[in-house]
């Protein structure tokens, strides 16, 4: 009987574990051939948990890795960034997934036994701004205008600031209904970081996972924010691009000061991430995103998810499999099809540095 590893999601006690499972003979006939570019550990079990933003990417990676490496079991529990990092820090998992890099003051942890918790970029993605406005199929906004909309300073769709950015559009005299996340989220953190960096005079709030602005409506999770936008004429909200694509929600092109406004896509998000610089020390590869980039074709509202691991002091029993799996995720094989599921592959210069650090984990 052949082994065909497929991704499975099992709800246990309210948690949804993603893992690889044997598909049996029928699964073998349906499964694609294992990718020969994946280098396997002989055996092992690796558990991770954390970011929901990387959940679909993790499901894809676990499926592909499991086909090539049936002797290794990878499990990932998408609990959210905070919970995932907390589980890693107390030694419950081999890695934690997070949308916000672990800060330097939190990197010295007993779980690493003399080492440090480091951030390794894993995958990126655009945060789309979706809207519901009949008759307007192409909408351009900039950071100051978005800041005023989401802080209830601009309240009508025919406001002069919006008209100036969209001279040919038929903008109605209609109330704007901004929708933000009610729960703490990395999506909110990255969206507000963009507003704070690109429109500091109009967004005076501290960057946070909790929504700080005035007024507006709220919904729990990106899926429900997208649902609120589709359900109300005049609504506007922010969420990962996959939700806009799934629900056929038109998205805003961002006037960054480049020659043309930039639409969200995996390609433009990768170009935006490529303008980031590494600010972590030693083996830590925390990135500082350039939310004010004016590079042509670079979308500025992006997030990067990280895997948090020990630079040294990893559990010997899981280390070979951990290094094998993480090496695959940042390889060409691991990154090449991510755009198909609305993620932004890591720019080559960043992926190369992550690969170099993974080789040195001990």
Which residue, 327, 107, 357, 224, is CA-closest to 98? 107
Residue 280 has pLDDT above 90, yes or no: yes
- Residue 46 belongs to a domain with what CATH number? 3.40.190.10
Over residues 351-357, mean pLDDT = 96
pLDDT band at residue 3, thresholds of 50, 70 and 90? very low
Bridge partners (DSSP) of residue 128 are: 239
The DSSP secondary structure of 296-339, one letter per residue, reads TT----EEEEEEEEESS---TTTHHHHHHHHHHHHSHHHHTTGG
What is the pLDDT at residue 2? 40
User: What does each C-alpha distance from 209 to 99, 188, 199, 295, 346 come to in angstroms?
Assistant: 10, 5, 18, 27, 23
Query: Which of 203, 221, 249 is at the close of a domain?
Result: 249
**Residue 256 is assigned to a structural domain of this protein:** no
pLDDT tens digits, 240-250: 898 899 899 99
> Could you tell me if 166 and 159 are in contact, meaning their C-beta atoms sit under 8 angstroms apart?
no
Is the pLDDT at 19 greater than 70, yes or no? no
For 42-63, the pLDDT digits (tens) are 889 999 999 888 888 999 999 9
Other CB atoms within a 10 A radius of the CB of residue 35 amount to: 15
In this prediction the pTM is 0.82
Residues 90 and 176 in one domain: no
Give the separation between CA 51 and CA 58, rounded to whole angstroms: 10
What is the C-alpha separation between 347 and 350, in angstroms, rounded? 6
Question: Does residue 67 sit in the same domain as residue 137?
Answer: no
Closest CA to 63 of 325, 358, 359, 350: 325
DSSP E strands in the chain: the ranges are 5-12, 15-22, 44-50, 72-77, 95-98, 117-131, 140-141, 177-181, 217-219, 235-240, 253-254, 277-278, 287-288, 302-310
CB 51 within 8 A of CB 82: no
How far apart, in whole angstroms, are the C-alpha atoms of residue 103 and residue 160? 41
Output the pLDDT for position 223. 87
pLDDT band, very low/low/confident/very high, at 106 (cuts 50, 70, 90):
confident
Write out pLDDT tens, residues 208-221. 889 999 999 999 88
Domain that holds residue 341: 5-121+310-360
Instruction: Let me know if residue 113 belongs to a domain.
Output: yes
Domain's final residue, options 203, 227, 249: 249
43 in any annotated domain: yes
Name the pLDDT band for 29 (thresholds 50, 70, 90).
very low
Is residue 213 domain-resident? yes
Distance (Å, whole) CA 296 – CA 268: 9
pLDDT at 103: 84
Rg (the chain; Cα; Å):
21
What total of structural domains would you count in the chain? 2
Q: What is the pLDDT of residue 79?
A: 86
The Cα angle at residue 299 between residues 294 and 305, in degrees rounded to 5: 125
Of the pLDDT bands very low, low, confident and very high (cuts 50, 70, 90), residue 138 is very high
According to the model, what pLDDT value does residue 20 have? Answer: 62
Per-residue pLDDT at 105: 81
| Average pLDDT value over all residues in the chain | 89
Taking residues 257-284, report their average pLDDT.
Answer: 95
Question: Please, are residues 344 and 266 in contact by the beta-carbon 8 Å criterion?
Answer: yes
Neighbours of 260 (CB within 10 A): 11
Are the C-beta atoms of 74 and 326 separated by less than 8 Å? no
pLDDT at 183: 85
Which of 249, 265, 300 is the endpoint of a domain?
Answer: 249
Does residue 20 sit in the same domain as residue 116? yes
């Amino acid at each position: 009987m052949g082994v065909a590893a497929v991704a499975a999601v099992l709800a246990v006690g309210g948690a949804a574990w993603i893992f690889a499972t044997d598909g049996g003979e029928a699964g073998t006939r349906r499964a694609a051939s294992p990718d020969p570019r994946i280098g396997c550990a002989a055996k092992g079990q690796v558990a991770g948990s954390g970011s929901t933003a990387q959940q679909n990417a993790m499901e894809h990676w676990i499926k592909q890795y499991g086909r090539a490496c049936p002797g290794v079991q990878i499990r990932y529990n998408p609990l959210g960034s905070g919970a995932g990092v907390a589980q890693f820090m107390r030694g419950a998992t081999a890695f934690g997934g997070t949308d916000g890099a672990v800060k330097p003051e939190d990197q010295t942890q007993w779980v690493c036994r003399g080492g440090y918790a480091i951030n390794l970029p894993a995958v990126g993605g655009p945060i789309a701004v979706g809207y519901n406005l009949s008759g307007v199929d192409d909408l351009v906004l900039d950071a100051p205008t978005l800041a005023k909309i989401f802080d209830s300073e601009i309240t009508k769709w025919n406001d002069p600031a919006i008209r100036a950015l969209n001279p040919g559009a038929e903008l109605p005299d209609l109330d704007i209904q901004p929708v933000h996340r009610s729960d703490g989220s990395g999506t909110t953190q990255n969206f507000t970081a963009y507003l704070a960096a690109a429109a500091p005079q109009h967004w005076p709030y501290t960057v946070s996972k909790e929504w700080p602005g005035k007024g507006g409506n709220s919904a729990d999770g990106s899926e429900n924010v997208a649902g609120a936008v589709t359900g109300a004429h005049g609504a506007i909200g922010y969420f990962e691009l996959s939700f806009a694509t799934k629900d056929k929600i038109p998205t805003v092109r961002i006037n960054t000061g480049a020659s043309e406004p930039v639409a969200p896509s995996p390609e433009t998000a990768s170009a935006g991430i490529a303008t980031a610089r590494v600010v972590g020390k030693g083996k830590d590869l925390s990135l500082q995103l350039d939310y004010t980039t004016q590079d042509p074709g670079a979308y500025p509202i992006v997030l990067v998810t990280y895997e948090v691991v020990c630079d040294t002091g990893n559990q010997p029993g899981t280390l070979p499999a951990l290094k094998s799996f993480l090496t695959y995720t940042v390889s060409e094989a691991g990154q090449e099809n991510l755009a198909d599921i609305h993620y932004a592959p890591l720019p080559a210069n960043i992926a190369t540095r992550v690969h170099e650090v993974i080789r040195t984990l001990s």
